[in-house]
Amino acid sequence: MQYKKTKLKNGLRIVTAPMENTETATVVVMVGVGSRYESEKEAGLSHFIEHMFFKGTEKRPTALDISEELDAIGGEFNAFTGKDMTGYYAKASAENFDVALDVVADMYLNSKIEEEEIQREKGTIIQELNMYEDNPQRNVGDVFEKILYDRNNLGREIVGYKKTINSFKRKDFIDYMKRFYVANDTVVCVAGKIDEKKVIDQIKKYFSKMPKGKKPAIEKVKESQTKPQVKIKFKKTDQTHFILGNRAFKRNHKDRFALGLLATILGGNMSSRLFIEVRERRGLAYYVRTATESFDDCGYIETQSGVEHKNLEKAIEVILIEYRKMTVEKVSEKELKKAKDYLKGKGVMGFEASDEVAMFFVDQEVKKEKIMTLEEVFAKIDAVTAEDIQRVAKKIFTKNGLNLAIIGPHKNGKKLEKLLKT
């Protein structure tokens, strides 16, 4: 998969990735700002801005005008807000891609952000916040990050608080966007069946006048954990949801590929160690999975599951046993090859879709990483040895570095802290 990178005079970056065997094209506009850039009074503003971009521009005055135009071509469109980035995208048939590009560019550059719409949208976002609160399987991730990053904005929920959501005025949006929505921190990526030169010219026409700026720095995470930590969010639920994990590597760490394989072997698929031990052999859970997350300055590995309340300790014990095994026993060549082939297979399948390709490239570029092709990623995966995985496991899976987040009808955190120390 070949790609081309173009940089405008204002610093805006364009990444194009033509694809032959598809009839679709996708545009993603991503800016390198998310909830961790907000002050406490601005909590939730990045996410609120994402909502407001769908509320109308001068050219398309209402939310209906935007959605009708994209629906009329059978397009898929949405947006997302993370801790350190916000993205807007649309996917359409190649013949209708000009419309998708025009709509997304118009939303990103020309949204009206009207006070009346802000007041109306507050209700929608508070209902979204309530929805997350009623979904412990999702909300337990916020509890886990609160343990790790309690004294940093990274530990705050992306959606913000009801208090801040209700406090926002139009000026808050405009001031925030002037600080952070700048050309030199914006990336436009297009992948699919495209005329590359034409697309680059169109993007230049839309974005060349976007102002550049210097966004404020963020407070970096200071990690100094010396003992296991447990945080329980008491809630009367039918099932206990929990995450058990350790601090790991920041975004560009040299061992990130070994860590990814470690997570895959532990709980990345239906033949992984934890899926077999927790679900298939003991029937403790319907789902159990291990994953990693990374930011510019920190990262973690986590295992999440949902169990009967009475089986919480038993499930934790099984996971801890598998964590320890990774530190004392090298994985077999067969198991390592299976994990490598799984990750590469997922990568190849993803590259059949223009939206997956666009996300692959824009994600790397907005993080200011050196863009790696899929082949280069595969080479890094193939280079990982069983010794690398054991070395990483020994470094990551320490007793004093364990963190446990729980949502369910539990109160005895001391008992669980003791379990983590055994």
In the numeric block, which tokens belong to residue 360?
């692959």
Which alpha helices (DSSP H) does 41-150 contain, by range?
45-52, 63-71, 97-110, 115-133, 136-148
Strand 186-192, strand 76-81: pairing: unpaired
In the numeric block, which tokens belong to residue 322?
């598998």
Query: What CA–CA distance (Å, rounded) separates 98 from 266?
Result: 44
Q: For the chain, first and last CA: distance in Å?
A: 49
Query: What CA–CA distance (Å, rounded) separates 193 from 185?
Result: 26
Query: 9 in helix, strand or coil?
Result: coil
Strand 86-93, strand 240-247: pairing: unpaired
User: Using an 8 Å Cβ cutoff, are 204 and 235 in contact?
Assistant: no
Query: What CA–CA distance (Å, rounded) separates 17 from 3?
Result: 4
Known catalytic membership, residue 387: no
At what angle are helices 333-350 and 256-267 packed, to 10 degrees? Answer: 100
Query: What CA–CA distance (Å, rounded) separates 72 from 155?
Result: 40
> Annotated catalytic residue: which of 38, 42, 50, 157?
50
User: Using an 8 Å Cβ cutoff, are 238 and 306 in contact?
Assistant: no
Instruction: Please give the DSSP secondary-structure letter assigned to residue 306.
Output: E
Residues marked active site are found at 50
